[in-house]
Structure 1
Amino acid sequence: MAVRQLPPISTLSEQQQRGTACTWCAAPLGTGLGIDLGEQRVRPAAGAAYSWFPRECLDALACAGRRVAR
């Protein structure tokens, strides 16, 4: 299975950063839905390091369709 590089955190909404929306298509993800992409650490040039928690849709084909439609 190929692993995609995550998009820059600066391009994502707060919901996408918290894992309540898909990292790729921004569709809402309910509790227990979606695939956990693991805790990610960000070390900005200024300020303190912090974590973000991306998740993606279970249905990759539907996700791709929503991403194209955006």
Structure 2
Amino acid sequence: MTTRSLPPITSLTEAQQRGWACVWCRAALGIGLGDDLGEQRVRPANGAAYSWFPRQCPDASACLARETS
């Protein structure tokens, strides 16, 4: 599991919010791949609260390389 603070949800794509892509490097994550970062709850100033489900790449070094390129 990551010790990094998750990025603001407003900066993420739908795929990242739904756990279909890595929350850090945006790489696609297939079914059963990636590390689950747990359900997150958002309470926007306007509108109803909702959940999002971030995941990250299982290979942290490859993820970091993609993130910085």
With the shorter chain as reference, the TM-score category is over 0.9
Pairwise CA RMSD: 1.2
In 1, are the aligned partners of 2:23 and 2:56 still within 8 Å (CA)?
yes
How many residues were matched structurally?
69
Matched, 1:5 2:11: no
User: What is the aligned partner in structure 2 of residue 35 from structure 1?
Assistant: 35
Runs of 4+ with deviation above 3 angstroms = none
Letter aligned with residue 21 of structure 2:
A
Contact 2:2/2:37, CA 8 A, preserved across alignment: no
**Counterpart AA for 1:11:** S
Q: TM-score, normalised by structure 2?
A: 0.97
Taking structure 1 as the reference length, the TM-score comes to: 0.95
| CA contact 2:18–2:54 (8 Å) conserved in 1 | yes
Aligned to 1:60: 60
Q: Percent identity?
A: 68
Stretches of structure 2 that go unaligned for 5 or more consecutive residues are none
Structure 1, unaligned runs of 5 or more? none
**1:3, distance to aligned residue in structure 2 (A):** 1.1
